[in-house]
Amino acid sequence: MNLIEAGKLAYEYIIRDEEDNVTEILRALDGVDLQVGQGDFVAILGHNGSGKSTLARHLNALLTAEEGTLWIDGKDAMDAGNAWDIRKSTGMVFQNPDNQIVAGVVEEDVAFGPENLGIPPIEILKRVAKSLHAVGMSEYRRHSPNRLSGGQKQRVAIAGVMAMEPKCIVLDEPTAMLDPSGRKEVLDAAERLNREKGVTVILITHYMEEAVRAGRVFVMDQGKVVMQGTPREVFSQVEELRGYRLDVPPMARLAHELRKEGLRLPEGILTRQELVEALCRLS
């Protein structure tokens, strides 16, 4: 059974003026079908307004769809009574870590979630230590979050979600406010949790090169899933992606341009090493 199953999911935002009159209805999700298995690493791509962040909020029961079906860890997400259990199964990490950090000491912040779940203190201590270790932040456990870099703060936010022991973590553009070093820190931590702990990771991003790490990629446009497949399958369709106002990872783009110039390079090149090896085989 899949951990997440969405069928024909639809959601609309109603825009009102100052007098509470409806001025516009935006269909943010329009018939979304999505399946994610336990232990998957999935990336969801799309330009601004494509619906990817709205979908992320449905996966954590922050929003409830008007149409379709959504099952998360065997629970009907359309039933508001399941929201609490769904949030225990699916944790959210948002774009700005400052919006999730609530305590003045790192280990206290990581303990905040389990405390609200009523976990016994001894178990909380174990979870805090394990979660900080998993994201490489154990040495900062007694530091103030205010003195950490953006990437370190985001790793603390991930540890706070991990301490609640969810089956899935949804990362909603977690690196958008970070420099390249911070982005790498966060992605390395997410990848390690997926690989070593079996945690399902759903990465919402507009950075194409980040999606290369995923096992599967979904592309959204105008509230619909318009493409899906492995990173190689998706990023080999350069012109179709451009039609959705998206680019491809730099090496895939370069390989595509070289093919247009007549070089017989294989489809699906994603990394610098793969491009170098393909060029060497031509010589």
pLDDT tens-digit series, residues 162-187: 888 889 999 998 888 888 888 888 88
pLDDT given at position 269: 87
Is the pLDDT confidence value at 4 over 90? yes
Answer yes or no: are the C-beta atoms of 61 and 87 closer than 8 Å: yes
The two tokens of residue 251 are 């090496």
User: How far is 257 from 197, CA to CA, in rounded Å?
Assistant: 39
CB 151 within 8 A of CB 140: no
pLDDT in tens, 49-92: 899 999 999 999 999 998 999 999 999 999 989 998 998 899 99
pLDDT at 207: 85
- Residue 217 CA, distance from chain mean position: 11
pLDDT in tens, 194-203: 998 899 999 9
For 25-34, letters b (16+ CB in 10 Å) and e give: eeebbbebeb
Tell me which H or E stretch contains 8: strand 4-16
Is the predicted pLDDT of residue 193 greater than 90, yes or no? no
CB 235 within 8 A of CB 248: yes
- Closest to 236 measured CA to CA, from 268, 260, 259: 268
Asked whether the predicted pLDDT for residue 37 surpasses 80, the reply is yes
Distance, CA of 39 to CA of 36 (rounded, Å) = 9
CA distance 280 to 127: 49
Any residues with CB less than 8 A from the CB of 228 and at least 6 apart, and which? 216, 217, 218, 219, 234
- 132 touches 107 (CB < 8 A): yes
Average pLDDT, the chain: 90
β partners of residue 12: 27
pLDDT reported for residue 211: 92
Pairing of strands 200-205, 41-45: parallel
pLDDT in tens, 220-256: 999 999 999 999 999 999 889 999 999 888 888 888 8
DSSP H helices, the chain, are: 52-59, 83-89, 106-116, 121-134, 150-162, 180-197, 208-211, 231-235, 238-243, 250-260, 272-282
Residue 1 pLDDT > 90, yes or no? Answer: no
Tokens, residue 113: 């979630």
Distance CA 247, CA 208 (A): 7
pLDDT at 265: 87
What gap in Å lies between CA 23 and CA 42, rounded to an integer? 36
pLDDT value of residue 94? 86
- Domains of the chain are 4-230 (3.40.50.300)
Residues listed for the chain: 283
Query: Do residues 33 and 7 touch, judged by C-beta distance below 8 A?
Result: yes
